[in-house]
Amino acid sequence: MNRRELLLAGLAAPFAVRQPALAGNRFHVADMHSHLFFFGPNTPSSKPLGRSMAAGSATLVAWSLVGDLPWLRRSPRGLKQKGAPEPGEALAWFVKEVGRVKEHLAAQNLKIVTTPDDVERALHGEPHVVLAVEGASFVEGDLSALQTAYDLGVRHIQLVHYIRNPIGDFQTEPPEHQGLTDFGQGVVQECNRLGILVDMAHCTSEAVRQALAASKAPVVWSHSSVTRTRRPNWTMPVWQARQLRLDDAKLIAEQGGVVGLWPLRSDVGRTIQAYAERLSEMADWLGEDHAAFGTDMNAIANPAIASYADLQAVIRHWQARKMSEPRIRKLAIENYARVLRQALGARQA
């Protein structure tokens, strides 16, 4: 039995009892990466999360705050840095925004995932939201900020995004750290200690490998896609630079982790069916225990998947193609649930 088989065998017991399909051949679904913004067209008031989740039987959704949002600008080559936070500014902004998210969730009667038992409840159909952050800018150079995030209920942290930081390199700018810094490796280890899922999306290949070496718990790559034909680098068009190399994706899988697929049309295709086929192919490459939905909801213009109801259409396509029910459940919800539950349960004294 290899390392991946051993990890999966140890995690199988909590998910051994299969729940019957919902009415109309629906399945509960999870999303490893989604957004709502407090500006523009995709706001909590215009797209209440409870309603959106209910439309697609989504019961485990990561709402990811964009941790470097105030310091970003749009450019012809995608999002770029427009400045740097003053000391303490990123943490203060982060704390304020988490409060706004929690106010909306309370108004929607949506519960927040804070323990492995909450993940189990989501698996059984009780809607829960994972508080997440895309880019750990709020940490600055102080690991104690991770305790602050944990105390606020955050359980899923993506290390880097689009601005320079003391943690590590990201895919869309020239590298300056040759992967993760020593501090960045400390961030991974502190997330392990607290019981926070580490997300490698946007990291360079070197940073992915160093994080895997530093982490005692499986990690995720919450959104983008996997390429087997090119070595992504920062000079490519943004969507190509953002892809994950197949060999790095396999390393994430070998440590029990999960890779999420986004619905960017220029990458995965223009239709729901194309997205469904691409995710199934990714599961073939990595193993069906290591792929999942990562929609980047409300952050991609004109996506192939625009709602959680669309994810049910993905499932119907798989059913029409005679995909087995256990495989559908893994891709739809169980893979993210498994890795999240393990990260939360890994909290150390």
pLDDT digits over 97-150, tens only?
A: 999 999 999 999 999 999 999 999 999 999 999 999 999 999 999 999 999 999
Distance CA 147, CA 191 (A): 9
| CA-to-CA dists, residue 289 to 106, 132, 231, 311, 315, angstroms | 32, 22, 24, 18, 16
CA distance 30 to 223: 13
d(C-alpha 239, C-alpha 77), whole Å: 10
The pLDDT tens digits for 5-40 are 444 544 443 443 344 456 567 899 999 999 999 999
> Phi then psi for 217, rounded to 5 degrees?
-120, 155
pLDDT in tens, 145-157: 999 999 999 999 9
- 258-261 vs 291-293, strand pairing mode: parallel
Cα-only R_g, the chain: 18
Q: What is the mean pLDDT of the chain?
A: 93
Question: Which two three-digit tokens encode residue 159?
Answer: 């290390």
State the architecture of 22-345 in CATH terms: Alpha-Beta Barrel (3.20)
Q: Give the residue carrying structure tokens 């309603």.
A: 51
> What are the domain boundaries of the chain?
22-345
Helices (H), the chain: 3-12, 49-55, 89-107, 116-123, 144-152, 182-194, 205-214, 238-241, 246-254, 265-268, 272-286, 308-320, 325-329, 335-345
CB-CB contact of 251 with 213 (8 Å): no
Residue-level pLDDT at 347: 66
Task: Quickly count: other Cβ atoms within 10 Å of residue 247's Cβ.
Answer: 13
- The structure tokens listed for 103 are 């106010």
